[in-house]
Amino acid sequence: MTDDWRQDRIGTALRGGNPTVLRRLEAGFAVLGDVQFLPGYSVLLVDDPAVRRLSDLPRPRRLAFLAGMDALGEAVERACERLDPAFRRVNLEILGNTDPYLHAHVWPRYDWEPPELVGRPVWLYPRERWSDEGHALGPRHTALREAIGGELDRLTSPAWPPSRS
């Protein structure tokens, strides 16, 4: 696998060539993050690379993107809670400081994180965590990928939520 998809994440997702894609959602792509020092880190990519900010979307597409962020956040929460008893919560962020296209970060947080970082923004983690090959997305994340993808399938199914009759 080449890393060419990193140069055009949305275009390769649209063409079926982005290996991080978990699921296609109504207004974007749910992807597993390139780094997994917090297992389950995921991103919702908008499906149009020209969209730079949430306000660029017409209201129905904007709401669909936010619904996708909500579904991905809940899927990560459910999967990570099942896979790691030290799971605490999920942080959702739309920042837009580095990549020019609209995207939302979904960060699972854990009790085993260093005490000086557990209650702080993920961006304060040391730079080496972000580039350490030991945390790179790879085949060892298959179970995590399947768990989050399965939860997304349940959450985005037309039969969801179940009726309360």
In the predicted model, is pLDDT for residue 40 greater than 70?
yes
Of the pLDDT bands very low, low, confident and very high (cuts 50, 70, 90), residue 77 is: very high
Greatest Cα pair distance in the chain: 52
DSSP calls for 28-44 = EEEEE-SB-SSTT-EEE
> Which residue in 67, 35, 30, 26 sits closest to 141, CA to CA?
35
Percent of the chain with pLDDT over 70: 94
Per-residue pLDDT, averaged over 133-153, amounts to 93
pLDDT in tens, 23-38: 999 999 999 999 999 9
In the predicted model, is pLDDT for residue 97 greater than 90?
no
Percent of the chain with pLDDT over 90: 74
Output the pLDDT for position 75. Answer: 98
Of the pLDDT bands very low, low, confident and very high (cuts 50, 70, 90), residue 98 is: confident
Tokens of 81: 């809670």
CATH number belonging to domain 4-111+121-156: 3.30.428.10
In the predicted model, is pLDDT for residue 39 greater than 80?
yes
Output the pLDDT for position 160. Answer: 53
In the predicted model, is pLDDT for residue 3 greater than 60?
no
In the predicted model, is pLDDT for residue 139 greater than 80?
yes
